[in-house]
Amino acid sequence: MLTNHFLTADERAELALFTESLERFCAAEIEPRYRDWEKAGQVPRELFNKMGEQGFLCADVPEAYGGAGASVNFSFAVIEVLSRRGYAGFVGGMQVHTDIIPPYLLHFGTEAQRQYWLPRMVQGTAVAAIAMTEPGAGSDLKAIRTHARRDGDSYVINGSKIFISNGQNADLFVLAAKTDPAAGARGVSLFLVDGSTPGLRRGARLEKIGQHAGDTSELFFDDMRVPADALLGGAESQGFVQMMRELPRERLIIAVQGVHGAKGALGVTLRYVQERQAFGQPIAQFQNTRFKLAEVATQIAAAEAFNNACIDAYRRGELTPEAASALKLHASELFCRVADECLQLFGGYGYMAEYPISRFWTDARVLRIYGGTSEIMKELVARSLLGR
């Protein structure tokens, strides 16, 4: 269970019931179909509708915009449960929809933008995506080539994006485009783009080595015209500031995925080593197995303590970009390491797709890349230590 230092006794009880309800939903609606969705390359659009009907989307969105106005712990608990159960492909898109996009609207959107998009996101009738990465621009925002030109009461947008989670399912794209090309990263603006806008073209789903149920796509914008009121907050060239403010939560939720994905990998391994026999005894009785499990469990416990401390800091409004970067670095590297150590204990069966540990292993790898690579995280932490 996620940290609950700020929760009342009633809230803790409600969170336990919420989590139990989500577990039941996963067992009934996701587990029997997940492998089919991996083969299809995406979860069905209707899954968002079902989760919205059950109150599992955007739980911390205020009641004024259709949400429950719950503690952020409730929203994070959704990622915790899905990650622990091994649904990382779905988690990638879910965390964008429920934890990354809503703060952009709440903190920077106009009242009309909030009223239009947030209730639909809570209900699952509108799926959200963030469109920032380009073929030649990942973490380097100044290299973005997608551009928006003001034309009367509209903007005309041209360019492309890549690696977009929810690219096929999305009804809303928070799109980064240059409105002032001469200003580098400071000339970036964010637009709220309806997925049905003429000129927006979705490329084919991209094939990945892991997270196969994750809907990841290319997007193309050919003279796409959007109204001026699609500009997030109504102000040009604020995209860089907006993105920098929201990065701590983005990296925090990726860390939640990493820590609880590692816990899920350990869980399936604990069951396996107690059932699998070798040389006349369960492999759990071998010293190497026991020592590896002890090391992994200890590493997870330490990472979870760091994770919980950062969640508490976030709730107080005190989570720094440096702490979020350090946590994201630690948790993503941990998930990969734990998944690899656990797969090894399965022997040859660990390399078979029918065993869930193989999915944890392939799904973990991208956490060291998206949301900022481990190398970028190290640079940010080093900068905070050295002052430059």
Residue 11 has pLDDT above 90, yes or no: no
Assigned domain for 1 exists: no
Confidence of residue 353 (pLDDT cuts 50, 70, 90): very high
Average pLDDT, the chain: 95
Q: The CATH number of the domain where 74 resides is what?
A: 1.10.540.10
User: How many domains, the chain?
Assistant: 3
Q: Are residues 232 and 359 in the same domain?
A: no
CA distances from 336 to 32, 202, 345, 386 (A): 26, 31, 15, 28
| 8 Å CB contact between 224 and 199 | yes
Q: Are residues 246 and 375 in the same domain?
A: yes
Q: Are residues 59 and 24 in the same domain?
A: yes
Residue 4: predicted pLDDT: 54
214-259 pLDDT tens trace: 999 999 999 999 999 999 999 899 999 999 999 999 999 999 999 9
Q: Are residues 251 and 377 in the same domain?
A: yes
Assigned domain for 99 exists: yes
Q: Are residues 379 and 271 in the same domain?
A: yes
Rounded distance between C-alpha atoms, residue 192 and residue 234, angstroms: 10
Q: Are residues 146 and 114 in the same domain?
A: no
Residue 265: predicted pLDDT: 98
Strand-pairing partners, residue 173, are 129, 193
Rounded distance between C-alpha atoms, residue 388 and residue 385, angstroms: 8
pLDDT over 70, % of the chain: 98
Assigned domain for 3 exists: no
Q: Are residues 251 and 367 in the same domain?
A: yes
Confidence of residue 289 (pLDDT cuts 50, 70, 90): very high
160-190 pLDDT tens trace: 999 999 999 999 999 999 999 999 889 999 9
Assigned domain for 337 exists: yes
Confidence of residue 3 (pLDDT cuts 50, 70, 90): very low
Q: Are residues 120 and 211 in the same domain?
A: no
Residue 1 has pLDDT above 50, yes or no: no
Catalytic annotation, residues: 250
Residue 7: predicted pLDDT: 75
Q: Are residues 165 and 265 in the same domain?
A: no
Q: Are residues 260 and 367 in the same domain?
A: yes
Assigned domain for 330 exists: yes
Residue 302 token pair: 């330490």
Residue 217: which domain range? 130-236
- pTM for this prediction: 0.94
Assigned domain for 4 exists: no
Assigned domain for 279 exists: yes
Confidence of residue 104 (pLDDT cuts 50, 70, 90): very high
Confidence of residue 5 (pLDDT cuts 50, 70, 90): low
Long-range contacts of 335-338 (CB under 8 A, 24+ apart): 335/257, 335/258, 335/259, 335/261, 335/262, 335/265, 335/364, 335/367, 336/364, 336/365, 336/367, 336/368, 337/299, 338/262, 338/265, 338/266, 338/296, 338/299, 338/300, 338/364
Select from 192, 210, 236 the last residue of a domain: 236
Q: What is the chain's alpha carbon radius of gyration, rounded to the nearest angstrom?
A: 21
Residue 327 token pair: 């946590």
Residue 318: predicted pLDDT: 96
Q: The CATH number of the domain where 227 resides is what?
A: 2.40.110.10
Residue 22 has pLDDT above 50, yes or no: yes
Select from 103, 127, 151 the last residue of a domain: 127
| Residue (of 191, 181, 91) closest to 142 by Cα position | 181
Q: Are residues 64 and 95 in the same domain?
A: yes
Residue 2: predicted pLDDT: 46
Mean pLDDT of 18-29: 98
Q: Are residues 88 and 148 in the same domain?
A: no
Confidence of residue 348 (pLDDT cuts 50, 70, 90): very high
Select from 97, 127, 157 the last residue of a domain: 127
Pairing between strand 128-131 and 172-178?
parallel
